[in-house]
Amino acid sequence: MPAVSQNMTLDQVDQADVPIGHIKRRDVFAKHAGFRVAHILIFNSAGDLLLQRLSLTRDRNPGSWGSSVAAYLFASESYEEAAYRRLAEELGITGVALSFLGKTQMTDDGSLKFISVFTTKYDGIYRINRGQIAKVQFEYPAKILRMIEDGSRQFTPTFLHVFRYYLSTGLHESFNLAIGTTTGQSERLQILNDPKAWVDRPLRKRSITFFVNLVLYAMAGVNGIGVVMALFLLFQKATSVIPIATEHIRPLF
């Protein structure tokens, strides 16, 4: 397999992802050509997603955060072949099984990009390709969404598309994102898509959180009544007059 570079030859594809010729990677965006890539989302057993920060020497989106692995497809290479190849090249991971999540597409700098997305679970050791990757880091999907929304971390446009595509599939349900009193797929999805709205939502009257809050409010009320009573008794004691028994006191003169 030739080296991955700007000179690598890709399949140019039409709007149906059908190859119509070959093109050099360096010419794709200048000619607004359609092309193919494969992305891998690697999760650990806790459900955290591995993010990679692109090297500052990368020609596109240097220093931004992206998918666990991303690969341009060589001409005549399949999406799956590219995914396994790049997984070994970027992270030194071999011998794992990739699951095909689906295929999506987006417009990238005027070019139609077809993206096949794969997922896998991995808790082992990885070896970073320092020429391509600055660092890697596991993050929980809900935290990634918060970072996207508040702009605290810069992500590549392709990762933003791929991540939202991943969320739309409902696969994150398998990582049991529901906590506390959340029930149902729609509510668990709201935790990811709009965590602030979920936190600010009215509590259901039969939820555990509702009853816990009710008990806390009751305890606070009882405590408040106790404080008021203690202050009242203290005030009564301070203002009361102690009677003097005069019948036992002899006059001095």
In tens, the pLDDT along 45-94 reads 999 999 999 999 888 999 999 999 999 999 999 999 999 999 999 999 99
Q: Are residues 128 and 47 in the same domain?
A: yes
Please indicate, yes or no, if residue 145 is contained in any of the structural domains. no
Mean pLDDT of 227-233: 77
Please indicate, yes or no, if residue 226 is contained in any of the structural domains. yes
Please indicate, yes or no, if residue 95 is contained in any of the structural domains. yes
Assigned token pair, 131: 């020429």
Contact call for residues 170 and 77 (beta carbons, < 8 A): no
Please indicate, yes or no, if residue 185 is contained in any of the structural domains. no
pLDDT band per the 50, 70, 90 thresholds, residue 17? very high
Contact call for residues 156 and 52 (beta carbons, < 8 A): no
Q: Are residues 127 and 221 in the same domain?
A: no
Q: Are residues 13 and 130 in the same domain?
A: yes
Mean pLDDT of 102-116: 97
- Separation CA 41–CA 49 (nearest Å): 7
Please indicate, yes or no, if residue 81 is contained in any of the structural domains. yes
What digits encode the pLDDT tens for the residues 133-154?
A: 999 999 999 999 999 999 999 9
> Which of 140, 166, 187 is the last residue in one of the domains?
140
pLDDT band per the 50, 70, 90 thresholds, residue 110? very high
- Separation CA 130–CA 171 (nearest Å): 31
Q: In the beta sheet, which residues pair with residue 119?
A: 41, 99
Q: Which residues contact 141 (CB under 8 A, 6 or more apart)?
A: 47, 49, 167, 172, 175, 177, 192
Assigned token pair, 60: 């596109």
**Three-state DSSP class for 179?**
coil
Q: Is the pTM of this model over 0.85?
A: no
Check residues 200 and 19 and name the one with the higher pLDDT.
19
Structural domain harbouring 222: 202-237
Pick from 78, 120, 85: nearest CA to 103: 78
Q: Are residues 218 and 136 in the same domain?
A: no
User: What backbone torsions phi and psi does residue 125 show, to the nearest 5 degrees?
Assistant: -90, 140
What digits encode the pLDDT tens for the residues 156-214?
A: 999 999 999 999 988 765 554 433 334 444 454 555 555 556 556 665 555 555 666 67
Q: Are residues 108 and 212 in the same domain?
A: no
Kindly tell me if the per-residue pLDDT of 243 is higher than 60. no
Residue 112 CB burial class (10 angstroms; 0-12, 13-18, ≥19): middle
Strands 69-72, 99-108: pairing is unpaired
Mean pLDDT of 92-97: 96
